[in-house]
A and B are shown apart, each in its own frame.
Chain A
Amino acid sequence: MSGDLLKLTAADLAERLAAGEVSSVEATQAHLDRIAAVDGDVHAFLLVDTEGALAQAAEIDRRRASGAALHRLAGVPIAVKDVVATKGLPTTAGSRLLEGWVPPYDATLVTRLRGAGLPILGKTNMDEFAMGSSTEHSAFGPSHNPWDLERTPGGSGGGSAAAVAAFEAPLAIGTDTGGSIRQPGAVTGTVGVKPTYGGVSRYGLVALASSLDQAGPVTRTVLDAALLHELIGGCDPLDSTSIDAPMPDLIGSVCNADVRGLRVGVVRELGGEGYQAGVRARFDESVGLLSDAGAEVVEVSCPHFDYALAAYYLILPSEASSNLARFDAMRYGLRILPETGPDGGVPSAEDVMRATRATGFGDEAKRRIILGTYALSSGYYDAYYGSAQKVRTLIAGDFEQAFAQADVLVSPTAPTTAFRLGEKLDDPLAMYLNDVATIPANLAGVPGLSLPSGLADEDGLPAGFQILAPATADDRLYRVGGALETMLVDRWGGLLLDHAPVLAAAREVSA
Chain B
Amino acid sequence: MISYVEAIEHFEPVIGLEVHVELGTASKMFCGCATTFGAEPNSQVCPTCLGLPGSLPVMNGAAVESAIRIGLALGCDIAGWCRFARKNYFYPDMPKNFQTSQYDEPIAFEGATDVVLADGETVRIEIERAHMEEDTGKSLHVGGATGRIHGASHSLVDYNRAGIPLVEIVTKPVIGPDAQAPEVARAYVAHLRELLLALGVSDVRMEQGSLRCDANVSLRPRSGGPDQPLGTRTETKNVNSLRSVERAVRHEICRQAELLLAGGSVTLETRHWHEDTGVTTPGRSKEQAEDYRYFPEPDLVPVAPSPQWVDHLRQTLPEPPGERRARLAAQWGFSELEMRDTVGAGALELVESTVACGASPQSARKWWLAELSRRARAEGVELADLPVSPQQVAELQGLVDGGRVNDQLARQVLDGVLAGEGSPEQVVTDRGLEVVSDDGALTAAVDQAIADHPDVAAKVRDGKIAASGALIGAVMKQLRGQADAARVRELVLQRLT
- Would you call B225 an interface residue if the criterion is a C-beta within 8 Å of the partner chain's C-beta atoms? no
Task: Let me know if B59 and A105 touch, CB within 8 A.
Answer: no
Q: What string of 1s and 0s marks CB contacts (under 8 Å) between B37-66 and chain A?
A: 000000000010011111111110000000
- Give min CB distance, B388 to chain A, whole Å: 42
Say yes or no: A240 contacts B57, CB within 8 Å. Answer: yes
Q: List B contacts of A240 (CB < 8 A).
A: 56-59, 299-301
Residues of A within 8 A of B294 (CB): 376
A331/B95 in contact, CB under 8 A: yes
Task: Please encode chain A, from 328 to 352, with 1 for each CB lying within 8 Å of some chain B CB and 0 for all others.
Answer: 1011100000000000000001100
Task: Assess the B53–A206 pair: CB atoms within 8 A.
Answer: yes
Q: Which of A93, A241, A321, A326 lies in contact with B51, CB distance below 8 A?
A: A326
Is the pair B53, A103 in contact by a Cβ cutoff of 8 Å? yes
Interface centre among B53, B92, B292, B293 (most CB of A within 10 A): B53
> CB-CB < 8 A to B157: which residues of A?
330
How far, in angstroms, from A107 to B54 measured CA to CA in the complex? 8
Shortest beta-carbon distance, B88 to chain A, in Å? 5
The answer to whether residues A85 and B53 also contact, given A211-B298, A241-B301, A319-B298 and a CB cut-off of 8 A, is yes
Partner of A205, one of B54, B86, B291: B54
Contact of B92 among A91, A210, A349 (CB under 8 A): A349
Q: Chain A 215-251, CB within 8 Å of chain B: the 1/0 string?
A: 0000000000000000000000111110000000000
Distance between Cα atoms of A376 and B292 in the complex (Å):
9
| A325 / chain B contacts, CB cutoff of 8 Å | 88, 90, 96-98
Is A373 among interface residues, defined by CB-CB distance under 8 A?
Answer: yes
- B47 contacts A350, CB within 8 Å? no
For the complex formed, measure the closest distance between the CB of B72 and the CB atoms of chain A, giving whole angstroms.
25
Q: Does A101 contact B (CB under 8 A)?
A: yes
B295 at the interface (CB under 8 A from A): yes
Most buried by B among A202, A207, A240: A240
Q: B267 interface residue, CB < 8 Å from A?
A: no
* Contact indicator A332/B52 (Cβ below 8 Å): yes
CB distance from B84 to the nearest CB of A (A): 10
Measured CA separation A210–B299 after assembly (Å): 6
- We find that the number of chain A residues with CB closer than 8 angstroms to chain B is 44
Tell whether A353 is near chain B: CB-to-CB under 8 Å. yes
Q: Is B155 an interface residue (CB 8 A)?
A: yes
Q: Please give, as numbers and ranges, the residues of chain B lying within 8 Å of A381 by CB-CB distance.
A: 293, 295
Closest B-chain residue to A239, C-beta based? B56
| A113 CB to nearest chain B CB (Å) | 15
Chain A residues numbered 91-117 whose CB sits less than 8 Å from any CB in chain B: 91, 93, 98, 101, 103-105, 107
Q: Are the C-beta atoms of A203 and B54 separated by less than 8 Å? A: yes
Provide the residues of chain B in CB contact with A105, threshold 8 Å. 47, 52, 55
Of the residues B54, B291, B295, contact of A322 by C-beta under 8 Å: B295
Complex contacts, A101 vs chain B, CB 8 Å = 53
* A104-B58 contact given A240-B299, A325-B96, CB 8 Å threshold: no
Bound Cα distance A101, B52 (Å): 10
For the complex, is A318 an interface residue (Cβ under 8 Å from B)?
A: yes
A462 to B215, CA, bound (A): 66
A377: interface (CB < 8 Å): yes
Given A239-B56, A328-B97, residue A377 in contact with residue B299 (CB < 8 A): no
Residues of chain A with a CB closer than 8 A to B293's CB: 321-322, 373, 376-378, 381
Q: Judging by beta carbons under 8 Å apart, are B90 and A237 in contact?
A: no
Closest beta carbon of chain B to A6's beta carbon, Å: 31
Contact assessment for B88 and A376 in the assembled complex, using a CB-CB cutoff below 8 Å: yes
Please determine whether A103 and B52 come into contact, CB atoms closer than 8 angstroms: yes
Q: Does A385 contact B (CB under 8 A)?
A: yes
**Contact for B47 among A91, A104, A202, A241, CB less than 8 A:** A104
Q: Are A326 and B291 in contact (CB under 8 A)?
A: no
CA distance A471 to B157 in the complex (A): 43
Partner of A202 from the list B56, B86, B88, B97 (CB cut-off 8 Å) is: B56
Cross-chain contact B56 with A376 (CB below 8 angstroms):
no
B295 touching A350 by the CB < 8 A rule?
A: no
A315 vs chain B, min Cβ distance (A): 9
Looking at the assembled complex, report how far the CB atom of B17 sits from the nearest CB atom of chain A, in whole angstroms: 25
Query: Across the interface, do B299 and A378 meet the contact criterion of CB distance under 8 Å?
Result: no
Measured between beta carbons, the chain A residues less than 8 angstroms from B292 are 378
Tell me the smallest distance from the CB of B306 to a CB of chain A, in Å.
17
Report whether B295 and A376 are in contact in the complex, using a CB–CB cutoff of 8 Å.
yes
**B54–A207 CB distance below 8 A:** yes
Interface residues of B in 281-313 (CB under 8 A from A): 291-295, 298-301
How far does the alpha carbon of A98 sit from the alpha carbon of B294 in the complex, in Å? 26
Nearest CB of A to B268, in Å: 16
Residue numbers in B under 8 Å from A373 (CB-CB): 293
Least CB distance from A375 to B in Å reads 9
Report how far A319 CA is from B57 CA in the complex, Å: 15
A236 closest partner in B (C-beta) = B56
Q: Which residue of B lies closest to A377 (CB)?
A: B291
- With CB as the reference atom, state the residue of chain B lying closest to A101: B53
Rounded to whole Å, the gap between the CB of B104 and the closest CB of chain A is: 11
Asked if A204 is at the interface (CB within 8 A of a chain B CB), the reply is yes
| Contact, CB under 8 Å: B54 / A103 | yes
Contact A203 B56 (CB under 8 A): yes
What are the residues of chain A within 8 A of B55 when measuring CB–CB?
Answer: 105, 203-204
Is the pair A385, B58 in contact by a Cβ cutoff of 8 Å?
no
Q: Which single residue of chain B is at the shortest CB-CB distance from A331?
A: B50
List of B residues within 8 angstroms of A321 by Cβ: 88, 293
A sample of 10 inter-chain contacts (CB < 8 A) reads: A84-B54, A91-B53, A105-B52, A203-B55, A238-B56, A239-B56, A239-B58, A240-B58, A325-B97, A378-B292
Given contacts A240-B300, A385-B295, 14 further A-B contacts (CB under 8 A): A101-B53, A103-B52, A203-B55, A209-B298, A240-B301, A241-B301, A321-B88, A322-B98, A325-B88, A330-B92, A332-B53, A349-B155, A353-B90, A381-B293
* CB-based closest 4 A-B pairs: A325-B97, A376-B293, A210-B298, A211-B298
